Structure 1
């Protein structure tokens, strides 16, 4: 019986794979695709990947930015966290990015172009339907958690974050 042992493909000693994912759990599915011995670098977003690829210093500790606040919603984009009355919300990095971008505009309208650049890290290629889908999911999660912060659409231009007063229910 003749056995053929396949040699692993030759790779450059500096080769590696960059994976953009919300968490380590997200790359579990990629194990099958990365059936090699390439080192994997996990990053949170395209901006972080870009900084690493450009060789920017990542080890230097920059001062941590102050959390963003809208009503009782505290957004900590640098920690990928959002808190409602101090309790963490179950949001994705993209959803936290959306909240952070809107909160930085302080109630003013963030254009779709600004949202795409800030949240998706691209200047084009993200359709407004992608943004609306992400916002719809985010609104559902905020509503489900009882968060009194809303996201208003400004037709044809962008979005703004608002602190809403909860209406008492009428029986």
Structure 2
């Protein structure tokens, strides 16, 4: 590095042990920015100004109209209504899980590459670490198994995920 520049190490990982491991291996003169996810990194680097606290980490929606529910047969994902249903029964999900399911269920059903899912659901650039996405899919699979006959999330190895009936 020229002119005495000091590098900045940025570690983004949901895994606390990995974050500790990285920090322990960096010399004490190098600044390290450690964040659990891209939302936290974005909020740290670009603090929101004059936005409600709940909106600080998400880009403002361009259209004022609510998003239409995504339906795949009897499987309904209503992101704005905060609900996922299968044959009329509610499947408990988080906001991110609903957004992920809405992308996967959007017709025509196809393989969604990791990169595209990451951008669409988490709103950030894909940095090659798909562990956040894999964790979300793992939780969703567990929840969908509880709804007998519900669609499943298939892995297309090395490419991404797709919803199947």
Indicate the TM-score class for this superposition, using the shorter chain for normalisation. 0.5 to 0.7
Query: Which blocks of at least 5 consecutive residues in structure 2 are unaligned?
Result: 1-38, 40-50
Q: Report the equivalent of 2:68.
A: 66
Please, which of 104, 109, 118 is the counterpart of residue 120 of structure 2? 118
Q: State how 1:27-42 maps to structure 2 within 5 Å.
A: 41-42=53-54
Provide closer, same or farther for how the CA distance between residues 61 and 50 of structure 1 changes in structure 2, counting only shifts above 3 A: closer
Distance 1:123 1:105 in 2: 24
The answer to whether the 8 Å contact 1:71/1:148 transfers is: no
Q: TM-score normalized by structure 1?
A: 0.59
Count of residue pairs the alignment pairs up: 117
Q: Report the equivalent of 2:158.
A: 156
Q: State how 1:59-138 maps to structure 2 within 5 Å.
A: 61-62=64-65, 64-125=66-127, 127-138=129-140
Provide closer, same or farther for how the CA distance between residues 104 and 126 of structure 1 changes in structure 2, counting only shifts above 3 A: farther
Q: Tell me how far 1:126 sits from its aligned partner.
A: 6.5
The answer to whether the 8 Å contact 1:116/1:126 transfers is: no
Q: Decide which moves more: 110-119 or 75-84.
A: 75-84
Please, which of 59, 84, 104 is the counterpart of residue 50 of structure 1? 59
Which structure has the greater CA radius of gyration? 1
Query: Which blocks of at least 5 consecutive residues in structure 1 are unaligned?
Result: 1-19, 21-38, 164-171
Distance 1:65 1:40 in 2: 21
RMSD (Å), alpha carbons: 2.6
